[in-house]
Amino acid sequence: MENYRITVLKGDGIGPEIVDETLKVLDRAGEVYGFRMQYDFRLMGGCAIDAAGVPLPADTVEACRQSDSVLLGAVGGPQWDTMPGHLRPEAGLLGIRGALGLYANLRPAKIFPALKAASPIKQSIIGDSLDIMVVRELTGGIYFGERGRCEKDGVRAAFDTEFYTVPEIVRIAKVGFEMARKRGKKLCSVDKANVLESSRLWRETVVALSADYPDVELSHMYVDNCAMQLVRNPAQFDVIVTSNMFGDILSDEASMISGSIGMLASASLAGGSFGLYEPIHGSAPDIAGRGVANPLATILSAAMMLKYSFGLEAAAAAVERAVNAALESARTPDIFEEGYRKVGTAEMGALVASLIA
Ligand code: NAD
């Protein structure tokens, strides 16, 4: 039986509650599909500050490096908000991404049929289903380029630089092509090549690489048009690949099409099979400890881990089916609608686990 070693970072706030339910679902998927998960629990975020004085202890980084993948709940909370920037829980998030070389961020925007009514987009536009994957470059571009303050013509000024090397573009574009290959075989590369030189290099590089992926249909779109098309006709997209800043904005836009923050999963990959999987929401201190948090974003992040890190496609699909089936009858308070049973975190986790087949 295949055995996978997962470093588990429960984090703060609702983190421990939603991760505990996710592990139950993973264990059940393992029983049904014949694999075993071995968990190594480590500290990151506020809990690590309290226990070890830093948000990202060295042993946590080492454990992540030694494992097959990482599952993260969420970090942060008001009790650590007054700490200096480098000692805040969120510094652990940036630190772990850098330490593990996670350069590709995957954000699915998927509407579960049972939750169609929650989308802020008209049902006539969404159609029968919606399933977009945004692949965002995570460690380059303007967020990491040269920046500074200066003076121009006697007035104060500031600048940030969009900078990409060809190898950086190639490696993220490859993630996009490979992802499209595993899905609907359509890749849309988003840039601003009508204005930016870095975008022209981006486009040239993606076009050159496309020769290796004749089975994937490649298209290009300017970022402003893409922002508009995501609302006008989101169903046209399969996989979108783009730079750090454009991806930051577009992935938030695309993910909100699904209508609920408690449902949104994400993955960050380092090129090989290793990845860090986490919900996109935070630690929700306002509802922590009350047993009402929605565990589905974390459960769906774990499903991404099964698919993208371990190639366990059938088990991943079974988890997604179980989530949809659970939504047919039960809802946590954040997605509650009349006519459904209102359940807490543990009950939702148990229900999803019981529906895995
Ligand atoms: P948040 O995502 O934690 O919460 C925003 C709102 O959504 C809250 O009302 C919350 O109750 C609700 N919500 C979030 N997740 C939910 C879930 N699973 N089920 C039900 N409701 C849910 O964002 P915030 O309030 O801006 O931040 C709270 C803390 O989390 C801060 O310390 C912030 O820095 C941190 N944070 C961490 C991460 C991360 O760990 N990746 C991401 C974002 C924010």
Query: What pLDDT score was predicted for residue 114?
Result: 84
- Tell me whether the CATH fold assigned to 1-103+261-357 matches the one assigned to 120-257: yes
Between CA 247 and CA 251 the distance in angstroms is: 6
248 catalytic? Reply is yes
* Residue with CA at minimum distance from ligand 1 atom 23: 282
33 catalytic? Reply is no
* Residue with CA at minimum distance from ligand 1 atom 34: 76
Query: How many whole angstroms from its chain centre is CA 157?
Result: 35
Report percent pLDDT > 90 for the chain: 86
Q: Is the pLDDT of residue 259 over 80?
A: no
Catalytic residue among 12, 68, 238, 248: 248
This prediction's pTM: 0.91
Atom of ligand 1 nearest to the CA of 11: 40
Burial class (CB in 10 A: 0-12, 13-18, 19+), 247: buried
Catalytic residue among 192, 213, 238, 277: 192
Residue 236: CB atoms within 10 A of its CB come to: 13
Structural fold of domain 120-257:
Isopropylmalate Dehydrogenase (3.40.718)
Question: Tokens 């652990």 appear where?
Answer: 92
Q: Is 293 in the pocket of ligand 1 (CB under 6 A)?
A: yes
Structural fold of domain 1-103+261-357:
Isopropylmalate Dehydrogenase (3.40.718)
| Residue boundaries of the structural domains of the chain | 1-103+261-357, 120-257
pLDDT in tens, 2-33: 999 999 999 999 999 999 999 999 999 999 99
pLDDT in tens, 264-287: 999 999 988 999 999 999 999 999
Which amino acid is it at 51? A
Catalytic residue among 50, 212, 224, 342: 224
252 catalytic? Reply is yes
Find the 284 Cα to ligand 1 centroid distance in Å: 4
Find the 334 Cα to ligand 1 centroid distance in Å: 12
pLDDT in tens, 141-157: 998 899 999 999 999 99
Residue 292: CB atoms within 10 A of its CB come to: 18
Find the 283 Cα to ligand 1 centroid distance in Å: 4
Is-contact 19 8, C-beta < 8 A? Answer: yes
